[in-house]
Amino acid sequence: MNHQKLILWSMAFFGMLLTAQLAPAQTRNCGPHQAVVERLAAGFGESRQVIALDAANNVLEVFASTETGTWTITLTQPGGPTCIVAAGDHYQHVAEPLPNTDEGA
């Protein structure tokens, strides 16, 4: 599995974990997808860095700014609003190779 697929699978798994906690979050930090994207761009200079689909067909997106270091994770349920589920600072794009899993290593 290449590195990009590993990242997408990891983010999809993370999205599935967040789905269980999404219901309480829907009353806050949620809105139409376009409005959330515009808010992240205007307020933080963030653009989409990752997009993934989880097993429940929720769309998980990671927005980040390499200039400010801020990042935001959103989750959008099918036909539902886009909710901000996590945010923080010190974003860095990392492209690490897979570790050597040979038994002799």
Mean pLDDT (whole number) for 65-74: 95
Closest residue by Cα to residue 67 from 51, 84, 89, 82: 89
Mean pLDDT (whole number) for 76-85: 94
* CA 42/CA 98 separation, integer angstroms: 36
User: pLDDT band for position 94 (50/70/90)?
Assistant: confident
pLDDT, one tens digit per residue, over 23-66 is 444 446 999 999 999 999 999 999 999 999 999 999 999 999 99
